[in-house]
A and B are shown apart, each in its own frame.
Chain A
Amino acid sequence: MRINDRVFGMLMLILAVGYGWEATQFPIPFGGQESVGPETFPIMLAIILGISSIYMIVRPDQDEKWAPAAMLIELSVVVLSMLAFAWAIEPIGFMPAAALVVSFLSWRMGASIAKSIITGVTSSVVIFFLFNNVLELALPLGLLEF
């Protein structure tokens, strides 16, 4: 199968066209038109990306095997859990959020539930104190703030 490169090439070609079009829409800068304006470099890049994506569509490489559907769902769940972590740092605080996400990840990677929780809690507490107290980079306390 050589479908991957074709599909990806198409997507990149769309990106190149969209990006290039957007570049032509930039307002004319103060001082009037220059021989090289804010749009020149982006348009050059859009052309380069366009050429290489057309090449990919025309001469695709052999596909690499994709993971089975179950695995892709698993990976999506992992990505979602990380997004949730990023969202949760401020409202619930760094330590609870980090403990949850690390425990979840190591559980998904095959550790037992008890050991996952130990890993999550210890690592988040240690990292919190390392950053907050040793390196003096403040992390939010969230729920643990009094």
Chain B
Amino acid sequence: MLNTISLKSVLISSAVALTMAGQAYAFEPARSGECIAPANPGGGWDFTCRSVGKVLVDQGYFKGNVQTVNMTGAGGGVAFAHTISKRDTDENLIVAASTATTTRLAQGQFPGMNADQVKWVGTLGADYGIIAVGKDSKYTSLTQVLDALKKDPSAVKFAGGSASGGWDHLKVLMTAQKANVENLPKVRYLAYSGGSEALVQVVGGHVDAFTGDISEVKGFMDSGDLRVLAVLSEERLPAPYDSIPTAMEQGIDSVAPNWRGFYVPGNASAESYDWWVKTMDELYTTQEWKDVMTKNGLMPFHKSGADFTQFVKNQTLDIKILSQDIGLIK
């Protein structure tokens, strides 16, 4: 009796050991992968999925294809809920995310969900925030805009492509906060359904200033219709954007990268997570991805694995504190 039991347990434990060893060796992705873009075709997330999917196949990480599935709703909330409820162990799935995702998580806009429920893989570049005015505007530097706000917080009206309280709005508030503008909730922000729509209103002279990302403004910058007052990055961006001063140069310590990256389901195996992290690290260094970045105005910004997870945690916390400070959330 004792013998049979021990034999059984030996068999079981060795089987467990074997499977574990097998897994520890390497994670082998399936023939085809899937990337969920939590928005309609055409948006930033859709672009992230489609371009990364293409590079993954071109570089031989997947033998089949990487299919982009669009899953619209709640600014990424529907896809987030879908991932944690229905795809929690899917190892061949990645979901596109960006600062918009962390903003909503921080502000509790995905009810009952938080950043710890998924695993954060890495970023593949970022789009830096800018503040700009029309060519006929009386403002020629960020300092002038902020001085006007200090006198009267509703003196300058901003237009941006995110909802009220979203990333484009927060960029203005963060910058104003760093410059000690008081009564931040009184800063006027007009929410448009897209950056370009907001931009045209500023160029047309209907709204004072534009808050958005650098990739959105190239056309109007080249034509001279738009004056970019500051880019919210640590250092000046590479050409052709090198003539734009940073906010830091103007004495305001405001940095706002809108990163593009991915998360995977929370209970996907550690091996598959490691594989994805390693793959994103490799992909980021390929020439093909560098070309995609230059083409789309994405700036270098790479974090992955534990580093990125910590970054997401910090960013969520920062946004939460800021949103509470200014009374956006309770």
Contact = CB atoms under 8 A, between A and B. Distances in A.
The answer to A–B direct touch (Cβ < 8 A) is: yes
Interface of A: 29-32, 136, 138
14 contacts: A29-B164, A30-B164, A30-B165, A30-B185, A30-B326, A30-B327, A30-B328, A31-B185, A31-B186, A32-B185, A32-B186, A136-B67, A138-B67, A138-B69
A31 B184 CA distance: 8
Nearest to B186: A31
Contacts of A31: 185-186
Nearest to B34: A138
A144 B327 CA distance: 52
A89 B213 CA distance: 40
Contacts of B165: 30
B234 to A, nearest CB: 29
Contacts of B67: 136, 138
Nearest to A29: B164
Nearest to B188: A31
Contacts of B328: 30
Contacts of A29: 164
A32 B69 CA distance: 39
Interface in B228-250: none
Nearest to B187: A31
* Majority SS at the chain B contact face: loop
Interface string B170-209: 0000000000000001100000000000000000000000
Nearest to B65: A136
Interface string B309-330: 0000000000000000011100
B79 to A, nearest CB: 15
Interface of B: 67, 69, 164-165, 185-186, 326-328
Contacts of B186: 31-32
A50 to B, nearest CB: 29
A32 B184 CA distance: 11
Nearest to A32: B185
6 smallest A-B Cβ distances: which pairs? Answer: A31-B185, A30-B328, A30-B327, A30-B185, A138-B67, A138-B69
Contacts of B164: 29-30
A141 to B, nearest CB: 13
Contacts of B327: 30
B52 to A, nearest CB: 17
Contacts of B185: 30-32
Nearest to B328: A30
Nearest to B69: A138
A46 B186 CA distance: 29
A30 B185 CA distance: 7
Contacts of A32: 185-186
Contacts of A138: 67, 69
A138 B32 CA distance: 12
A138 B67 CA distance: 9
A33 B7 CA distance: 75
A45 to B, nearest CB: 20
A48 B299 CA distance: 50
A138 B36 CA distance: 12
B112 to A, nearest CB: 19
A29 B186 CA distance: 12
A87 to B, nearest CB: 15
A30 B165 CA distance: 9
Given A30-B165, A31-B186, A32-B185, 11 more contacts: A29-B164, A30-B164, A30-B185, A30-B326, A30-B327, A30-B328, A31-B185, A32-B186, A136-B67, A138-B67, A138-B69
A31 B164 CA distance: 10
B296 to A, nearest CB: 23
Nearest to B323: A30
B18 to A, nearest CB: 25
Nearest to A27: B330
Contacts of A30: 164-165, 185, 326-328
A136 B67 CA distance: 8
B104 to A, nearest CB: 15
B176 to A, nearest CB: 13
Contacts of B326: 30
B319 to A, nearest CB: 14
Nearest to A30: B328
A136 B32 CA distance: 13
B198 to A, nearest CB: 18
Residue of A29, A31, A32 most packed against chain B (CB within 10 A): A31
